[in-house]
């Protein structure tokens, strides 16, 4: 079966850890629209996919669709952990105001990328596997999901690394299963040169330019 590309995995986001998830197939998948407890690993992904489905069927402005995506990111992601993994050890030494500015820029960037990938008329169908697998990362779980546009097409698979925080599961990485490389890890590689040359201000500027680029697609 075709695996997910980095663009679709942003899907992202969303779409990006480095684990194969053998044995957790997508037979009898659960549609994202079904309700789920906030205590289940699938629940944040259901909220995210519900927002992406809304985006791809909406003809609102880019800014309005980005706000829908940003709200879903707030609900679904542990953004602090995700950004920390994407930036690396440098993140620990940032001042609180630098972290906040970077988190805001990264949130806007991630939302804009989702909106760019799931344009109106995309008609992507989202399903979530009903079972989860354990991750080698302590206490984390892996949730498989499936994206397809037609029932006759094989579609693509996106896996999420989920961490429980005080009884609530959050996304901490998106798994690129074709290469066994995490999205956060791939982003860290992309961001390294910018951080080395200009620090956090340069990375924030880069993310803001990417948002502008996505808005012009």
**Domains identified in the chain and CATH numbers:** 30-215 (3.10.450.710)
- Under 8 Å between Cβ of 158 and 175: yes
Look at residue 166 in the predicted model and tell me its pLDDT.
Answer: 84
User: Which tens digit of pLDDT belongs to each residue from 156-212?
Assistant: 888 999 999 888 999 999 986 665 678 888 888 888 889 989 999 999 999 999 999
| Predicted TM-score (pTM) of this structure | 0.79
User: Which tens digit of pLDDT belongs to each residue from 156-171?
Assistant: 888 999 999 888 999 9
Residue 38, preceding peptide bond in cis (omega within 30° of 0): no
Which contacts qualify for 30-37: CB closer than 8 Å, 24 or more apart?
30/127, 30/128, 30/129, 30/130, 31/126, 31/127, 31/128, 32/126, 32/127, 32/128
pLDDT in tens, the chain (217 residues): 333 333 333 333 333 322 222 222 222 333 333 334 457 999 999 999 999 999 999 999 999 999 999 999 999 999 999 999 999 888 999 999 999 999 999 999 999 999 999 999 888 999 999 989 998 777 899 999 988 876 656 678 889 999 998 889 999 999 866 656 788 888 888 888 899 899 999 999 999 999 999 998 7
Q: Which residues of 156-187 are buried (b: 16+ CB within 10 A; e: fewer)?
A: bbbbbbbbeeeeebbbbbbbbbeeebbbbbbb
Look at residue 24 in the predicted model and tell me its pLDDT.
Answer: 27
Look at residue 129 in the predicted model and tell me its pLDDT.
Answer: 92
């Amino acid at each position: 079966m075709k695996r997910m590309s980095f663009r679709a995995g942003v899907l992202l986001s969303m779409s990006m850890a480095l684990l194969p998830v053998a044995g957790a197939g997508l037979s009898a998948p659960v549609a994202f629209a079904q309700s789920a407890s906030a205590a289940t690993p699938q629940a944040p992904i259901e909220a995210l996919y519900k927002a992406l489905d809304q985006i791809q069927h909406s003809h609102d402005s880019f800014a309005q669709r980005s706000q829908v995506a940003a709200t879903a990111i707030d609900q679904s992601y542990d953004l602090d952990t995700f950004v920390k993994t994407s930036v690396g050890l440098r993140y620990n030494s940032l001042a609180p105001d630098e972290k906040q500015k970077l988190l805001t820029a990264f949130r806007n960037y991630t939302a804009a990328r989702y909106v760019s990938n799931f344009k109106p008329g995309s008609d992507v169908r989202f399903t979530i596997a009903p079972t989860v697998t354990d991750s080698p990362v302590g206490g984390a779980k892996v949730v498989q999901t499936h994206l397809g546009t037609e029932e006759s097409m094989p579609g693509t698979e996106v896996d999420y690394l989920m961490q429980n925080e005080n009884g609530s599961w959050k996304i901490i990485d998106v798994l690129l299963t074709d290469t066994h490389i995490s999205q956060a890890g791939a982003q860290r590689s992309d961001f390294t040169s910018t951080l080395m040359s200009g620090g956090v201000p340069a990375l924030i500027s880069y993310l803001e330019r990417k948002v502008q680029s996505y808005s012009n697609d």
